[in-house]
Amino acid sequence: MTSTVPALGTRTAEGSALQAVLLDMDGTLVDTEGFWWDVEQEVFASLGHTLDDSWRHVVVGGPMTRSAGFLIEATGADITLAELSVLLNDGFEQRIDRDLPLMPGAARLLAELSAHEIPTALVSASHRRIIDRVLTSLGPHHFALTVAGDEVPRTKPHPDPYLAAAAGLGADPDRCAVVEDTATGVAAAESAGCHVVAVPSVAPITPAARRTVVASLEEVDLTFLRGLMTRMR
């Protein structure tokens, strides 16, 4: 977990009740959920197995241990979880080195949060090696803190990553807005007690208490995020 927490005086802006914004990475800020599935298909093809497309909804948004473990069990592939994790991370790094598209509205939202000095964290189930590679495109200066899936005792769908991010920023989870794209990430954020904006990438997500669903990050700005603190109480 890396952190450059802003000074106490910048932790709220203009009297807002919003204390921090916590952002997922894959499928939320960068258009990479499809990359992971492509790499998984390629790796298992090299092992002599074809992945069923219906499994994509099972593995999306989850930690490497869960998604890779499921695929090993489902295919019966002769490979260990540790070996498969290396192959998947290697394949993903090669893929994003070729192309790393940002989701619509991501660059604008990050710039707005930075301009208003809103403490912002990147919270991902991806491993540190992947986060650090993606940060070069997103701009590490946009984030006071980053939390990787291999740096917490339990990653998404458990609340640990979001609790760690809120604590690292000195924020109350109830005063944090989380932006996520999968049901797994939404479950983690809600279990942590945060307000959630869901921007579904692969599978649908339904609205619920303390959860707003939007079609794109282009619908999300600082005014919208501040409004969550009063709209969803």
Ranking 9-13, 28-32, 157-161 by mean pLDDT, the lowest is 9-13
In this prediction, residue 59 carries a pLDDT of 79
Which tokens belong to 180?
A: 């996520």
- How far apart, in whole angstroms, are the C-alpha atoms of residue 195 and residue 175? 8
Among the listed residues 131, 126, 155, the one whose alpha carbon sits nearest the alpha carbon of residue 143: 131
In this prediction, residue 110 carries a pLDDT of 98
Structure confidence by residue, pLDDT tens digits, 100-136: 899 999 999 999 999 999 999 999 999 998 899 999 9
pLDDT at 11 over 80: no
In this prediction, residue 165 carries a pLDDT of 98
Q: For residue 52, what are the contacts with CB-CB under 8 A and spacing of at least 6?
A: 74
Q: What is the mean pLDDT of residues 9-23?
A: 68
Q: What is the mean pLDDT of residues 56-85?
A: 88
Full-model pTM:
0.81
In this prediction, residue 16 carries a pLDDT of 55
14: pLDDT confidence band, cut at 50, 70 and 90?
very low
In this prediction, residue 7 carries a pLDDT of 39
- How far apart, in whole angstroms, are the C-alpha atoms of residue 62 and residue 103? 19
In this prediction, residue 216 carries a pLDDT of 97
pLDDT at 64 over 90: no
DSSP letters, 151-206, are GSSS-TTSSHHHHHHHHHTT--GGGEEEEESSHHHHHHHHHTT-EEEE--SSS---
